[in-house]
Structure 1
Amino acid sequence: MTFLIIAACVIIQLVISIQGNDVLLIDEGDEAPGTARRVVNFFSFFTVQSNILLGIGAAILVRNPQADGRAFRVLRIAGLIGITVTGIVYVTLLRDLVDLEGIRAVTNVGFHYLAPVLGFFGWLLFGPWRRLDLRTVVLSLIWPVAWLVYTLIRGEVIDWYPYPFIDVTEHGYGRVLLNSAGITLIFLALGWLFLFGDRRLGDRAGSHPADDLPRAR
């Protein structure tokens, strides 16, 4: 279900973006960018990337519930942490900024409410657990750091930022870096919580990893 909801939302919203009807991809008063830029802008949203990562991890587990290996573990926890941050940031900072209607409101619910809830509770109830260590969590944080660097560099070039709290043109680098530091703390806290929960839930379920972490592929 998680994969199907995410896939439907991504496809629908991508079509809307290609058609040039997505208000999130165009700054107010500006001329609509070309199709290629709209597509790149769409995939530049952290929301979209976190949903895709979560969806890929869910699809892998549907195909093979025993899926494992270092790459899968990093993918899985990156999607889980990313989608949880997406839900938290949206509810606390972004939900009142744009009034969406129709199908865009539906995909918005899928991206920012259903995916975070399904992702977190899917992991909480079904696992897989006993798959995390500190190195895996640290590796999963490379993606959000790379996303921030990419966003700031691209924003400097084309003067477009996916979220207002990292808009350097509006706030300056000092405020943006401060905002980013605050969100980084959320990432670190969630990483620790998932690591702690992974061990406790695994112990309660009596689950044991098929192979030791250093030997995970």
Structure 2
Amino acid sequence: MKTVWPYVRIVAALLALAALARQLTREIATAQAATTEWGRDIPTAVSNFFSFFTTLSGLIAAIVLLIAAGWMLRTRRSDDTEPRWLAVLLAYASTYMITTGIVYNLLLRNIPSHSATEAWTSETLHVVLPIVMLLDVLFAPRRRSLGWGTALLAVVFPLAWGGYTLVRGPFITDPFTATPYWYPYPFLNPNTSSWASVGLYVAAIAAAIVVISLIVVGIGRLRGARKRH
């Protein structure tokens, strides 16, 4: 496991980056081929792409996996646990990616997306990468035990992203429908539901992130305790 896992992380990271790169090129190509003024707004298409939580969590996961793989390869002759900073990055990247997989498959899988989406990129980012991050939590060697307080701080980034999304949404014209607002996910759109509904979804997802983060950290602590004994 110790010799194989760095390469598992590298392969997963490269697959995720390939899916993200392909999706971005599709977004740009779709914008270039559009027949309306709003549809040809390439900067908005690119900024919208990087406004999806899936995109951000996938990018974070890929970068962290590459960093973690590099650390494992550099220290392959050692049995020391990973440094705390790396353990924190892995815990948060795993939390965000696992949350992405759960939310997508429970709430978004059957909702039609626009034409730029491809099946393999979607499945890679919403199924394959979350499973890899879960397996990393369960089986990756040399994991460090973290304090419970680390888990609670995992919610900071998603809440910041949620705030950014709700503030930005009314100022962006949807490049595909020309509606005078754009939100990355329908459950965050107060124009089609209500602010109360949006608030409930945000609160529920924030709570889910805290729970998942606590589980991730708890598994790390349990594995650390078993290793010490």
Q: TM-score range by the shorter chain?
A: 0.7 to 0.9
1:20 paired residue number? 30
Runs of 5+ consecutive residues of structure 2 not aligned to the other structure: 1-10, 73-80, 173-180
Equivalent position amino acid for 1:63 in 2: G
TM-score by length of 2: 0.80
Matched-pair identity in % = 28
1:143 paired with 2:178, answer no
| 2:139 corresponds to which of 112, 117, 125 | 125
**Residue in 2 that maps onto 1:34:** 41
Cα offsets for 1:146-168 (capped at 9, x unmatched): 00000000012221000001111
Give RMSD over aligned pairs: 2.5
1:43 to 44, 50, 57: 50
Q: 2:210 aligns with which of 188, 208, 212?
A: 188
CA distance, structure 2, for counterparts of residue 52 and residue 206 of structure 1: 33
Q: 2:91 aligns with which of 77, 91, 106?
A: 77
C-alpha deviation, 1:128, in angstroms: 4.3
8 Å CA contact 2:31, 2:40 repeated in 1: no
Q: Answer yes or no: is 1:56 the counterpart of 2:63.
A: yes
SS in 1 for 2:192: helix
Paired residues of 2:94 and 2:133 also in contact (CA < 8 A): yes
How far residue 205 of structure 1 moved from its aligned partner, in angstroms, is 2.9
Contact 1:60 1:67 in 2 (8 A): no
Task: Count residues with an aligned counterpart.
Answer: 201
2:57 touches 2:97 (CA, 8 Å); kept in 1?
yes
1:86 is matched with 100
2:197 corresponds to: 175
Unpaired runs of 5+ in structure 1?
Answer: 208-217
Q: Which residue of 1 aligns with 2:3?
A: none
1:180 shift after superposition: 1.0
Distance 1:16 1:5 in 2: 16
Q: Could you say which residue in structure 2 is the equivalent of 1:163?
A: 185
Q: In the aligned structure 2, how far is the partner of 1:3 from the partner of 1:53? A: 10
2:83 counterpart residue number: 68
